[in-house]
Amino acid sequence: MTLDLMAKLADSDPKIAELVEAEGRRQFEKIRLIPSENYVSRAVLEATGTVLTNKYSEGYAGRRYYEGQQLIDQVETLAIDRVKSLFGVEHVNVQPYSGSPANLAIYLAFLQPGDTVMGMALPMGGHLTHGWSVSATGKWFRSVQYEVVRETGRVDMDAVRELALKERPKLIFCGGTAIPRTIDFEAFASIAAEVDALLAADIAHIAGLVAGGAHPSPVGHAPVISTTTHKTLRGPRGAMLMSDADHAKALDRAVFPGLQGGPHNHTTAAIAVAAAEAATEEFKTYAHQIVANAKALADALNARGFSLVSGGTDNHLILVDLTSKDIAGKPAAKALDRAGIELNYNTVPYDTRKPFDPSGIRIGTPAVTTRGMAPEHMPQIAAWMDDAVEAAKKDDGDALDRIGAEVREFTKAFPIPGWSA
């Protein structure tokens, strides 16, 4: 572990320091394929641990409810200006604590309880906060859900339009958590305009790809955009709302005082750092490499008989239906973790199994790309995955441990920021 990040913690609370150290080693020794996870830079890591965490700052720059904001206002303004420039938007709010509260702010800003909202169904790849039944958004609002085509795994925009014309939602969400294909923001915008709905683009998973030019941007199509600041954007655990000028005031009021109090200033600083990093040519190369790695991994998995939802990927994410492999997602994910490959079990479209024991696994390439892994490494990762799945079916723990040892040896060549062996 980098000593200057841990020295005081080790003296003050050796148990927590020990757990942090162990987590750093675990992240170093694993091939981490959870698509919502990444490794932040050393600079982002340091920004999250600054004295900015000591300061309360309810309100917005120039309009605070506590004194002593002279420097905090500059930090937040810098973060906002950098994000505006990065995404080409008119308004940015960097205060939401995470992606779900950011989406809740959209509801609070523009809907009344009982209004109709339309989003992608959770089992099809959508998000809980897009109106799914167990979420507050599905309990407090009338929710209608669009799906993907069973045969293709892709969204049929004609079907989305037909549903919107029938249900007349006030808010339409596009985006989600398990969508391996390009989101057609222009088509969604056309449908929203036709039914007089507000279009909100949730780009939490693809924000880094959008910033790096590896995925089309919703700017100019969706008046309101939500995103987390980690995942492909490679920033801290936080969120942002972006919009045109017409929707700015309502969004700001919904975030504060509508849903939360003071922002987390250390996170705001880290968002500013991440936005500056994402504006570089190096980051653009990184964003495109994420997609190249995902395509290479998808090809390698296809070649080994894995069934990929929609047949492949256009972005960072691959959704795998393991039904043809005669194993469920949960035992496969746990076996793969033992074998040194970290991912998550996940429902697939039209899944016949329950969400806590689904048919699929969800994988992505942001973290391995940050470490410097490239398309030529993806066939080996696919081979390990295939071997581990077969070992899991035979309950062959020795084989899983052997693969884990090979993975640990492999990852030694790929350092991670903020931790060293």
Active site residues: 56, 58, 202, 228, 231, 237
CA 109 to chain centre: 23
Tell me the C-alpha distance between 252 and 248, whole Å. Answer: 6
CB proximity list for 178: less than 8 A, separation 6 or greater: 125, 309, 317, 319, 346, 347, 362
Give the number of other Cβ atoms within 10 Å of residue 196's Cβ.
Answer: 9
Degrees to nearest 5, angle at CA 196 with 149 and 211: 65
Answer positive or negative: Cα dihedral of 26, 37, 356, 353: negative
Tokens of 214: 């590896």
Determine if residue 128 is labeled as part of a ligand binding site: yes
- Given a contact cutoff of 8 angstroms between Cβ atoms, the answer to whether 155 and 185 are in contact is no
Determine if residue 122 is labeled as part of a ligand binding site: yes
Provide φ and ψ at 174, rounded to 5°. Answer: -120, 150
Tell me the C-alpha distance between 100 and 88, whole Å. Answer: 23
Determine if residue 127 is labeled as part of a ligand binding site: yes
Determine if residue 198 is labeled as part of a ligand binding site: no
Which residue positions form the known binding site for (6S)-5,6,7,8-tetrahydrofolate? 122, 126-128
